[in-house]
Amino acid sequence: MRPLTRRSFFRTSSACAVLGATLPALPGLSLGAGATSVPAADPRPVSFADDGLRLSTGEYARLLVTLEQAGKAGADTYLMGGAVEAMEQQFARALGKERALFIPTGTLANHLALRRLAGSRTRVLVPAESHIYCDSADCVQALSHLNLVPLGEGRATFTVQEVQAACQRATAGPFPTPIGALSIECPVRRRDGAVFDFAELQRIAAYARSSDLKLHLDGARLFLAAAWTGIPPATYAALFDTVYVSLYKCFNAGSGAVLAGSRELIEAISHDRKLFGGSLLSAWPFAAVAAHYLDGYWERSLRAVAVARELLALLAKQPRLRVESIPSGSNIHKLLVQGGNLESFQAALKAQGVLLPRPSRAFAGFELRINESLCNESAPRLAKLFAQALPA
């Protein structure tokens, strides 16, 4: 099989675009004066199924064609230049960091950050509910020989007192093993998107700075936490030495992650990326799409949150619907439906351009995920559609 190049991709995808139907309007697709727009058909559905928009393969391919025509899909070579470099610079600015680096996966981004930050101090504090501790197959322990110490079991937030106690315990006794780094996840996927308390985060950061303890933020969904708290992503990122953001959870790329920090630190991590086999031949199809959706995302996400809050309040007034939002939550909310068939309810809303996830196995209803597609509708109209879809 020949490798995918920018030229061969667009030769194929342009032909598909001619044969395919026109692409529904995508949020934030304005490409500036003189740029070619994607032909608009019906408005894109409002989706409650994911953190992002879940572009279909056809939508993704045609968006790349449009970005190419606008000069925003330049090819990279081994992750240098083109759309990858432009995306890295864009995310560095959004996060208030000197430099950002494309990393193939979030697992690798977290791993490389902790490996570099810890240095010769091989003990690292991590949230007990975090992805790096629970869902990464012990890669940090196996490949970088770091000892991960969990904090805050069952909670999204742990305290500065817990951090201090763990640091003191590590150096007590005849064989001290000082803590090299601390990782924090925000929001926390295993706690239904709960956000780490920002005031506690500031206290932990102050202690870390005074104790030469390096800080890493697993911010895979950081921009969601920022939208629901109203605290800009760069304000979160300023407390940390490194911050990772997923390119596909909010920004609709096919894959990938970005890791940001100081210029010197990210330069060192770029070497580690090569060491771990992460220097892909090219990643422009991921970078171009992520950069496109990052442009204006903060404003769109604030608008979506405002619509969501109004909608959830309206749904809670329906006698057969109940809304459950977790304390300190972000974009995940439970909608419980009393009586009737959930699949019929789901189908009725789909017919009106509102997409729900599969019914929950844990309760009679749906786990709604708020994303920027809510910018397409008003809360009163959405509430009316939900009410009309209820079985008689």
Same domain, 201 and 223: yes
Residue 189 and residue 41 in one domain: no
pLDDT at residue 31 above 80? no
Residue 173's pLDDT band, with cuts at 50, 70 and 90, is: confident
Which of residues 294, 313, 340 is at a domain's end? Answer: 294
For residue 4, tell me if it sits in a domain. Answer: no
35-39, 110-114, 139-143: range with lowest mean pLDDT? 35-39
Residue 75's pLDDT is 97
What residue numbers bound the domain in which 203 lies? 82-294
Instruction: Give yes or no for a contact between 66 and 60, defined as CB atoms under 8 angstroms apart.
Output: no
Same domain, yes or no, for 307 and 284? Answer: no
Mean pLDDT value across residues 55-80? 97
Q: Are residues 367 and 252 in the same domain?
A: no
- Residue where a domain stops, chosen among 250, 270, 294: 294
Whether residue 249 is found in the same domain as residue 148: yes
> Would you tell me how many other CB atoms lie within 10 Å of the CB of residue 381?
13
pTM of the complete model? 0.89
Domain end, chosen from 268, 294, 320, is at: 294
CATH (domain of 328): 3.90.1150.10
Q: Please give the pLDDT value at position 178.
A: 95
pLDDT at 11: 46
Residues 6+ apart with CB under 8 A from 360: 334, 366, 367
- 88 burial (CB, 10 Å; 0-12 / 13-18 / 19+) is buried
Question: Per-residue confidence at 46, pLDDT binned at 50, 70, 90?
Answer: very high
Is residue 241 located within the same domain as residue 114? yes
Query: In this structure, are residues 307 and 377 in contact, taking their beta carbons and an 8 Å threshold?
Result: yes
Is residue 9 situated within a structural domain? no
Same domain, 374 and 264: no
Can you tell me whether residue 76 is helix, strand or coil?
A: coil
Q: Is residue 237 domain-resident?
A: yes
- Same domain for 206 and 222? yes
Q: Over range 173-185, report the average pLDDT.
A: 95
Q: Please count the other Cβ atoms lying within 10 Å of the Cβ belonging to residue 137.
A: 9
Domain contains 111:
yes
pLDDT tens per residue, range 71-80: 999 999 999 9
- 40/288 Cα distance (integer angstroms): 21
pLDDT for 339: 86
Is 90 exceeded by the pLDDT of residue 82? yes
Do both 123 and 179 map to the same domain? yes
Specify the CATH number for the domain of residue 276. 3.40.640.10
Tokens 């786990």 locate to 367
In this structure, the answer to whether residues 55 and 185 fall within a common structural domain is no
Claim to verify: residue 188 and residue 316 sit in the same structural domain? no
Q: What is the pLDDT of residue 1?
A: 39
Q: Is residue 135 part of a domain?
A: yes
Helices 57-69 and 6-19 pack at an angle, to 10 degrees, of 120
Q: Would you say residue 7 lies in a domain?
A: no
Residue whose pair of structure tokens reads 């950050």 in the numeric block: 113
pLDDT > 70 in the chain, percent: 89
What is the pLDDT, as a whole number, of residue 50? Answer: 96
- 106 in a domain, yes or no? yes
77 in a structural domain: no
pLDDT number for residue 392: 72
Give yes or no: residues 218 and 300 share one domain: no
> Is a pLDDT exceeding 90 seen at residue 181?
yes
How many domains does the chain fold into? 2
